[in-house]
Structure 1
Amino acid sequence: MAMYRSIDAFLAYFEAVNRRAMRDIGALPPEADGWTPAVGEGEGAWSINKLVGHMCGSRLYFASAYLGRGWVSPPPPDVSRRELWVPALAESFERFCDLLRGTPDDWLERKVAMIDSGGALSGWRILAMMAEHDIHHRSQIDTYAGLNGWPVPQIFDRTAETIGALQAQERAKHGLAGGGHGL
Structure 2
Amino acid sequence: MEIPTTASFLDYYDKVRQRTERLLAVIPPDVMDWTFAPGKFTVADQIRHIAAIERNMFAETFAGRPSRYTGCGKELADGRDAVIDYFRRMHAETVAIIGSLTSGDLQRKSITPGNAAITTWKWMRSLTEHEIHHRAQLYMYLAMLEIKTPPIFGLTSEEVAAQGYTGDESPLR
Q: Tell me, yes or no, whether TM beats 0.5.
A: yes
> Which residue of the partner structure matches residue 71 of structure 1?
67
1:167 and 1:5, CA in 2 relative to 1: closer, same or farther beyond 3 A?
Answer: farther
Are the equivalent residues in 1 in contact too, given 2:106–2:121 (CA < 8 A)? yes
SS at match of 1:121: strand
TM-score by length of 2: 0.86
Matched, 1:49 2:44: yes
Partner SS for 2:2: coil
Please give the residue correspondences for 1:1-183 in structure 2 after superposition, counting only pairs within 5 Å: 3-39=2-38, 45-60=40-55, 61-73=57-69, 78-117=76-115, 119-168=116-165, 171-172=168-169, 174=171
Q: Return the index of the structure with the highest Cα Rg.
A: 1
Give the percent of matched residue pairs that are identical in Structure 1 and Structure 2: 22
For the 8 Å contact 2:58–2:127, the answer to whether it is kept is: yes
What stretches of structure 1 of length at least 5 have no aligned partner?
A: 177-183
Say if 2:61 and 2:110, in contact at 8 Å, map to a contact too. Answer: yes
CA distance change for structure 1 residues 175 and 101 in 2, over 3 Å: closer, same or farther? closer
TM-score in terms of structure 1 length: 0.82
Does the 8 A contact of 1:65 with 1:72 survive in 2? no
User: Would you say how many aligned residue pairs link Structure 1 and Structure 2?
Assistant: 170
- Cα distance in 2 for partners of 1:17, 1:168 equals 28
**Secondary structure of residue in 2 paired with 1:24:** helix
CA distance in 1: counterparts of 2:171 and 2:128, whole angstroms: 36
1:94 and 1:167, CA in 2 relative to 1: closer, same or farther beyond 3 A? same
- Secondary structure at the aligned position of 2:125 is classed as helix
Any conservation in 2 of the 1:18–1:89 contact (CA below 8 Å)?
no
RMSD: 2.4
